[in-house]
Homo-oligomer: A and B are copies of this chain.
Amino acid sequence: MKSVDQHLEDCLAGIETLSPLELRLLDAHGCTLSEDVTATWNLPPFTNSSMDGYAVRAADVAGASESSPVSLPVVGDIPAGYSGALALSPGQCARIMTGAPMPSGADAVVPVEWTDGDIVQVSITRPASAKAFVRYEGEDAAAGDLVLPTGTRLGPQQLALLAAVGRARVLVRPRPRVVVMSTGSELVEPGEPIAGGKIPDSNSFMLAAAAQAAGATAYRIGFVPDEPKQLITTIEDQLIRADLVITTGGVSVGAYDVVKEALGRMGTVSFDRVAMQPGMPQGFGRVGPDATPIYTLPGNPVSAFVSFEMFVRPVLRRLQALEPLHRPTVRAVLKTAVQSPAGKRQFLRGDLGVEDGRYVVAPVGGPGSHLLAGLANANCFIVVPEDETHVAAGDAVTVVMLERRAG
C-alpha cells in the first residue's frame, strides 16, 4: 500500500497557484495579493488636522491659560474636503475640521474644547505645542513605498490600506472553483423519501462546505447514479467552471465502481490503496482539455472528510498561495486508550480541550467510517502512526486541529 505522505506528495505534485485576477476590493476580501502594492502618493496625501478646532501658530498661543486667554482673529473656515489655499499671517487663526488641509503658516491645532468656539474672534485658554493635532503628509507612508507585499492575505485592514492609496481593484489569486459531486444509485436528495434502500446524499454538502471553508467557491452538483456514461457527461459539462473536481464513492474494487470505470476512460487518473484508516481507497489525476485536477474520494462520509482534510485542502490552499498548507497540530494527552491497525495511519475523531493548562483529547464516536454523529461532535483528528497499534490513556498523541477554538 502507498503511504499517506507519498499520496499527499503525489496529490500536490504539479499543482500551481491559480493565475492572478483583478478584483474589486470587497470581492478580494480573503484572497491572497498577487502584486507588490506601493503607495500611489504620500499617505496622508496632505498635511491635515486630526481634530476639530483652530489652526494656529504654536508660538501665538504659547502663553494661553484659563486666567489669561489668548484672543485671535478667525480669518477663515476650513471644512474637510476644502480645496482653497488659505495662508495665515502671524497672529491669525482659522477654524478647521478633522481631516481638513492645514493652512500654510500654521503649525498646530487647538481643539475646539480649549476655546470659546467663536467664529470671528476666538478665545483660547490652553497652549498647543508645535505639531500638536497635525497629521503630516507622508508620515504613514511615502509615495513609492511598498505598503503590501505580494502574498499578503487581504483582510479588513489591508483593504482599507488599498483604498487609502487609491486602489479600486487589486490583483489577487482568485478563489478556486470547486465542483463537488457524489456518486451512488442509492442516493436521494435530503427531504425525499428513503424507502427501498435509498439514503440522502450528504457527502456533497459536506465537501462543498469544506471547500468553501478552505477559501473556494463551491458548486454542489449533487449526485449521479452508478452509470459511467452519466458520470462522464456530468464531469465534462462541469469542467468549464472547475479549477478542481471532487467526487465521492465508486473507487473501491466492486462491480459498480463507476468512478474508476468512467475515469479510466477519460484521462490520467490513478487509483491507489493508501495506508490509512479511514480513507484507504483514493484516486486522483487530471481530466479534460485543461488537465483539471480531480480527486476521487471514498464514499464513506468520514473517509471522505478525512481524505478531503488530508489531501484536498492542502491543494486548495496551494492554488490560493496560502501558507501553511496544513492544519495546525498539537500534542495532547489521550484520555482513553485507543487501538489502531498495524501498518496504517489512523485518524480518529476527537474532542480536544484544555485541562490544567495542557491539551487533552478524547475519542468521540466509534471508529466506523460511516458514523456522522461522531464526526459532527469532533473538533480534531487524533493521529495514531502506522507503527503503533495501541496508545494508552495518559500517553501523548498528535492532534490535527480542525477548527479554531473560540473566537
Closest to A194 in B: B45
A99-B184, A99-B299 given as contacts; is B166 within 8 A of A256 (CB)? Answer: no
Is residue A52 within 8 Å, beta carbon to beta carbon, of the partner chain? Answer: yes
Per-residue contact bits, chain A 48-60, to B (CB 8 Å; 1 contact, 0 not): 1011110000000
Given contacts A44-B199, A112-B253, A186-B100, contact A376 B161 (CB under 8 A): yes
Who on chain B is nearest to A44 by CB?
B370
- B43 and A375 contacting across the interface, CB-CB below 8 Å: no
Question: Could you tell me which residues of chain A, from 76 to 135, have a CB within 8 Å of some CB in chain B?
Answer: 77, 79-83, 95, 97-101, 112-113, 119, 135
Q: How far is the CA of A323 from the CA of B185 in the complex (A)?
A: 41
**B191 lies within 8 A of A26 (CB):** no
Residues of B within 8 A of A13 (CB): none
Determine whether A187 belongs to the interface, using a CB cutoff of 8 Å to chain B: yes
Cα of A197 to Cα of B48 in the assembled complex, Å: 9
The reply on A271 being an interface residue by CB < 8 A is no
In the bound complex, residues from chain B placing their C-beta under 8 Å from that of A119 are: 255
A156 touches B98 (CB 8 A): no
The segment from A140-148, A171-179, A230-238, A339-347 found at the interface with B is A140-148
Contact of A26 among B148, B192, B220 (CB under 8 A): B220
Among B81, B161, B401, the residue within 8 A (CB) of A373 is: B161
* CB-contacts of A28-64 with B (<8 A): 29, 41, 43-46, 48, 50-53
Interface: A229 (CB within 8 A): no
A210 at the interface (CB under 8 A from B): yes
User: A266 at interface (Cβ–Cβ under 8 A)?
Assistant: no
- Residue from B98, B168, B257 in contact with A52 in the complex, judged by beta carbons closer than 8 Å: B257
A373 touches B324 (CB 8 A): no
Determine the residue in chain B with the shortest Cβ distance to A300. B50
Contact stretch, chosen from A201-209, A284-292, A391-399: A201-209
User: In the bound complex, how far is the Cα of B375 from the Cα of A163, in angstroms?
Assistant: 14
Q: Report how far A51 CA is from B370 CA in the complex, Å.
A: 12
Query: CB of A190 within 8 A of chain B?
Result: yes
Q: Is the CB of A205 within 8 A of B299?
A: no
Each complex incorporates copies of this chain amounting to 2
Minimal Cβ-Cβ distance residue in B for A50 = B370
Within the complex, the shortest CB–CB distance from A70 to chain B, in Å, comes to: 20
Contact B45 A157 (CB under 8 A): no
Beyond A160-B203, A160-B206, A166-B200: 9 further Cβ-contacts under 8 Å? A52-B255, A80-B184, A139-B368, A140-B373, A156-B205, A166-B190, A166-B194, A168-B191, A323-B406
- The 29 sampled A-B contact pairs (Cβ below 8 Å) are A26-B209, A26-B212, A26-B218, A44-B370, A50-B300, A50-B369, A52-B252, A52-B253, A80-B185, A80-B226, A81-B198, A82-B197, A83-B195, A83-B197, A98-B254, A99-B299, A119-B255, A135-B368, A147-B373, A156-B305, A157-B206, A157-B375, A157-B376, A160-B305, A161-B375, A164-B190, A167-B190, A167-B191, A404-B404
A residues contacting B by CB (< 8 A) are 25-26, 29, 41, 43-46, 48, 50-53, 77, 79-83, 95, 97-101, 112-113, 119, 135, 139-141, 145, 147-148, 155-169, 184-187, 189-192, 194-203, 205-210, 212-213, 218, 220, 225-226, 249, 252-257, 299-301, 305, 323-324, 326-328, 365-366, 368-376, 378, 401, 403-407
